[in-house]
A and B are shown apart, each in its own frame.
Chain A
Amino acid sequence: QQQVKQSPQSLIVQKGGISIINCAYENTAFDYFPWYQQFPGKGPALLIAIRPDVSEKKEGRFTISFNKSAKQFSLHIMDSQPGDSATYFCAASKGGSEKLVFGKGTKLTVNP
């Protein structure tokens, strides 16, 4: 019940295309859903995050879509660029807990 399932494991997109990464969770107590971006040899960096009171959050080319009834959330990267090539992790946590539950990650490659 603590798992966050992330798909796909890897994704190849052409420059200018849309990258979509999906995550699903079971624990309805989760109330915070961040996405982290990690470049090789670097620490993860917070990209964007959402709470269940909204169904969508957009920051620049990055959008989180959240479906509370389906217990799913996804990251959309519009106009994908080669510089977006990285590993993306979704995560979830519940109020009062200091811990994040991570998905297994998606390696995104954006071809020029």
Chain B
Amino acid sequence: DAMVIQNPRYQVTQFGKPVTLSCSQTLNHNVMYWYQQKSSQAPKLLFHYYDKDFNNEADTPDNFQSRRPNTSFCFLDIRSPGLGDAAMYLCATAGGPSADTQYFGPGTRLTVL
């Protein structure tokens, strides 16, 4: 009964090699988020979708892109990963009666070699 699913859980890529992380949800929430979390830090919002409307944070590098083909799925594309992009990437959703509450997935741990 997982509600926010992230795949893969662990991803290893090489410096500069594009990588795609995926998120799916069974909650039918209209808002989906991507966060980057580095060790001992709070999650940092990269961008979010309100339905199909894309909202990019001002300090999110151009290297990060996102796609949301439908309500259930959202993808994070890192076009040219650098060593500094190694982190946990968290997907979250919000919507329904408790629209303020964000529900997080288990995260994808990205390693850049």
| Chain B CB within 8 A of A46 CB | yes
Q: A95: nearest residue on chain B (CB-CB)?
A: B100
**Are A49's CB and B101's CB within 8 A?**
yes
Verify if B73 is at the interface (C-beta below 8 Å from A).
Answer: no
Give bound CA distance, A105 to B44, whole Å: 12
Contacts of B6 in A (CB 8 A): 43
Best-surrounded residue of A32, A43, A107 (most CB of chain B within 10 A):
A43
Task: Note all chain B residues with C-beta closer than 8 A to A100.
Answer: 45, 102
A99/B106 contact (C-beta < 8 A), A34-B101, A49-B101 known: no
For chain B, the count of residues having a C-beta within 8 Å of the partner chain is 25
Q: Which of B42, B88, B103 contacts A102 (CB 8 A)?
A: B42
Q: How many A-B pairs with Cβ below 8 Å?
A: 49
Within residues 71 to 97 of chain A, which ones have a CB less than 8 A from any CB in chain B?
89, 93
Give A45 to B3 CA distance when docked, in angstroms: 12
A44 with B90: CB separation less than 8 A: yes
Which residues of B have CB within 8 Å of A41? 88, 107, 109
Question: Cα distance A44–B33 when bound, in Å?
Answer: 13
B99's nearest neighbour on chain A, judged by CB, is A98
In the complex, A105→B90 CA distance in Å?
A: 16
B53 CB to nearest chain A CB (Å): 10
User: A99's contact among B45, B88, B101, B104, by CB below 8 Å, is which?
Assistant: B45
**Complex: how many Å from CA A98 to CA B88?**
21
Residue ranges of A at the interface with B (Cβ–Cβ < 8 Å): 32, 34, 36, 41-46, 49, 89, 93, 98-100, 102-105, 107
Q: Told that A42-B107, A43-B92, A100-B45 touch, could you supply 8 new A-B pairs with CB distance under 8 A? A: A32-B100, A42-B106, A43-B4, A43-B106, A98-B48, A100-B102, A102-B43, A105-B42
Using a CB–CB cutoff of 8 Å, the interface residues on chain B facing chain A are 4, 6, 31, 33, 40-43, 45, 48, 50, 55, 88, 90, 92, 94, 100-107, 109
Q: Can you name 15 A-B pairs with beta carbons within 8 Å?
A: A32-B100, A34-B100, A34-B101, A41-B109, A42-B107, A43-B90, A43-B105, A44-B90, A49-B100, A49-B101, A98-B31, A98-B48, A99-B48, A100-B102, A102-B43
